[in-house]
Amino acid sequence: MTARKGRQPVELERARRSVKARIMDASSLFLALDYDGTLVPIVARPEMARPTEATIAILESLSQTPGIKLAIVSGRSLEVLRRFLPIPNLILSGLHGLEIWPQVNRVASRTDVHAVRVDLDRLLLALQEKVGGGNSPRIEDKRHALAFHFRGEKPTVAARMRKVVHEAFEEIKEGARIKLVPGKQVLEARAENVDKGESTRSMWEQLAPSSLPIVLGDDVTDEDLFGAFSDVGITVRVGKAARKSQARYFLKSPADVITWLGEIQAIWREAGKAGN
Ligand SMILES: [Mg+2]
């Protein structure tokens, strides 16, 4: 596990006025939102993490608001994001930036996804050999990434599984083009040159470089996102206050995120920038 850098974020509620002033002053907004744990609560089975109607409604409305660009940046595959969020005008970034729709980013094009797949298959094979007939973590195959899930396992079992995945990775990592990244109850194997911070920053620079970026996330990989926008944007971590983060602010839950998105839209209207 990597140690968390940064400091204690401030509850967004306590900075409401200064944050509102920054939004009012902006010429346009670029919202980049993580999905799991940010827009929807984390659930035991990832396939069940569907958005509520209220969530769909606010995303749809924001994505149609003049002056606002809305991107979902997630470790999920593009295919799953499209299924969960069938919203026109939404920019979708899957697998932490490896899959982006519409094509606005060069990260994907400089990644040899076939080579990544070959390395993922080598990892799967090494893991199978190590596990033998024993317990294996639940494996989610996202084509150009793999997620090893430990949610629901006893801590001792999960720890053993984690160790085996790390060992399998050690065996194949020489010359491999993938890295192993920890998340909440999950280890992910994915393209080594892709990170959410860099890919989202490059998306912002290409799509809306003069806009105010507002980025939200809840997990270890989102620290890259906060780091990439700490100098220019509003960075918000979703979750308990106690954790150090590179984000400046925090909101406690996905429900609070949905409420705040509504407020952003209200502020934008109040500023007379929403075109109505
Ligand atoms: Mg998340």
- What is the reported pLDDT for 103? 74
pLDDT digits (tens, 9 = 90+) for 162-220: 999 999 999 999 999 999 999 889 999 999 988 899 999 999 999 999 999 999 999 98
Label residue 150 left, alpha or beta by phi (over 0 means left) and psi (-120 to 50 means alpha): alpha
If you measure from the C-alpha of residue 141 to the centroid of ligand 1, how many angstroms do you get, rounded to a whole number? Answer: 18
Task: Characterize the bridge pairing of strands 68-73 and 29-33.
Answer: parallel
Q: What is the pLDDT of residues 231-275, one digit of tens each?
A: 999 999 999 877 889 999 999 999 999 999 999 999 999 999 887
CATH T-level assignment (fold) for domain 10-109+195-270: Rossmann fold (3.40.50)
CA distance 1 to 186: 11
Distance 232 CA to ligand 1 centre (A): 22
Mean pLDDT of the chain: 92
For 2, list phi and psi in degrees, rounded to 5: -85, 145
Q: What is the CATH number of domain 112-191?
A: 3.30.70
Distance 92 CA to ligand 1 centre (A): 14
Peptide bond preceding 66: is omega within 30 degrees of 0, i.e. cis? no
C-alpha 130 – ligand 1 centre gap (Å): 29
Higher pLDDT, 107 or 5: 5
Expressed in angstroms and rounded, the spacing between residue 68 Cα and the centre of ligand 1 is 22
Residue 2 has pLDDT above 50, yes or no: no
CA 106 to ligand 1 center in whole angstroms: 23
Distance 276 CA to ligand 1 centre (A): 33
Q: How far is the CA of 34 from the centre of ligand 1 (A)?
A: 6
pLDDT tier, 11 (very low <50, low <70, confident <90, very high otherwise): very high
CA of 223 to the centre of ligand 1 (A): 11
Distance 225 CA to ligand 1 centre (A): 11
| pLDDT (tens digit per residue) in 108-163 | 567 888 999 999 999 999 999 999 888 889 999 999 999 999 998 999 999 999 99
Quote the ligand 1 centre to 75 CA distance (angstroms). 8
Q: What spatial distance separates the first Cα and last Cα of the chain, rounded to whole Å?
A: 48
Query: Any residues with CB less than 8 A from the CB of 238 and at least 6 apart, and which?
Result: 34, 37, 38, 216, 217, 218, 250, 251, 252, 253, 254, 256, 257
Domain boundaries, the chain: 10-109+195-270, 112-191
To the nearest whole percent, how much of the chain has pLDDT over 90? 79
Interval between CA 145 and ligand 1 midpoint (Å): 16
Measured distance CA(75)–CA(147) in Å, rounded: 9
Q: CA triplet 213, 218, 223: central angle to 5 degrees?
A: 65
Q: Is there a contact between 109 and 191 (Cβ–Cβ < 8 Å)?
A: no
Going from the Cα of 49 to the center of ligand 1, the distance in angstroms, rounded, reads: 11
Write the CB contacts of 185 (distance below 8 Å, at least 6 apart in sequence).
149, 150, 151, 158
Assess contact for 239 and 245: CB atoms under 8 A: no
- Supply the pLDDT for residue 43: 87
Evaluated on CA atoms 62, 67, 72, 73, the torsion sign reads negative
CA 37–ligand 1 middle distance (angstroms): 5
